[in-house]
Structure 1
Amino acid sequence: MIDNGNHIAMLSLGDSYTIGEGVAEHERWPGQLAAALRDEGIPVAPPYIIARTGWTTDELDAAIDAAGITGNYGLVTLLIGVNNQYRGRSVDEYREQFDALLQRAIGFAGGRADRVLALSIPDWGVTPFAADSGRDTRHIARDIDAYNATAGQCCKARDVAWVDVTFATRMRDAARMLVADGLHPSAEMYAQWTALALPEARRLLTA
């Protein structure tokens, strides 16, 4: 899909990590990714975002329905699932709902799986918020790994690009790259995600 300015339309679907809780609009990772692609001469428009803090897979699905979006997008991103884990929902339920969202994302990309990019769920268990709330951080990490393994399998089955950003959230200095709530990533962390996603996004849009 090309907008009126002859730019590639971009759609980003997700939760707080996509809407960028606690950061400015231009600091969200989808916005940073679009800007990075433009810097490389790939004319990507600022993303249209359907995301809200706290959303689970089914809530995102309902929000997509409510948005009533139509048309084909040149690049669609998907990052969802942390709130499923936070609420203790099963991996089996996540698999079914994530795969359904993946199919919708492919549909928004005009049926082109090679224009869809999915990111892994960050590990919020390493944050001060998790420590202060007394949560079992090892249990969170195991859950996140299980969710990501499932999402990665769904992406592989549908030939969708998969980018692992989870390891970046587990690096030694990750805890300092958070906003004031001690939970959500800062623009600096989102810049790391952008750097990880950029090669795949570039490949999808120039193949």
Structure 2
Amino acid sequence: MALEQSQQRVLQELLKSDSEASKYSRKLDFLIVPIVVFAVMAAFHIHFMLTGGDWDFWVDWKDRQYWVTVTPIVMMIIVAAIQAIFYAHFRLAIGATLCGVVLVLGEWLNRYFGFYLWSHFPMSLVWPAIVIPMCLYLDLVLHLTRSYMITAALGAIGFALMFPTSNWFILAQFRLPIEIQGELLSVADYIGFSFSRTAT
């Protein structure tokens, strides 16, 4: 399909680096990128909070049974989708890492403004999970193998297995046993009992 004369003129103006049209095109790019980043952050944050949120909100819910099982499965959905988009269209194996960074940024904004400043929960009760090492590993597998199938098999297994290990160093201090009024509790349970919160 051939371009009309006016469309060819606009295209020629856009291709000139110092033209007025190319300057507006670049300004539009700088406007679109933050909007897309914010949209991905909002979509990933809402998806994660609705499906695995309670296990990631509270330190006493970060248990050995559900938190390590639910969180990687729920996160993998959008992380893999963004990774596939970046690799298919741009041949960049950075989609999972960018998605993880955007999620962590959204989580910290939510925890600081919503939980700490607004509801006065201590940050030691509501810190978000560490997800960037898992996303880096997923991108590394895709970069080295260049195969969606191997990334789906080896990358997903490593993604899930790295989750408890990458979070253990910050969680270990909350697993220490303490005795309160003759009862044996973990520090996380005691923090959870000390700060009342609504049920969801």
TM-score range with shorter-chain normalisation? 0.3 to 0.5
Higher strand fraction (1 or 2): 1
What is the TM-score normalised by the length of structure 1?
0.34
**Which of structures 1 and 2 has the bigger CA Rg?**
2
Determine which structure has greater relative contact order: mean sequence separation of CA pairs < 8 Å that are 6+ residues apart, divided by chain length.
Answer: 1
Greater share of helix residues, 1 or 2? 2
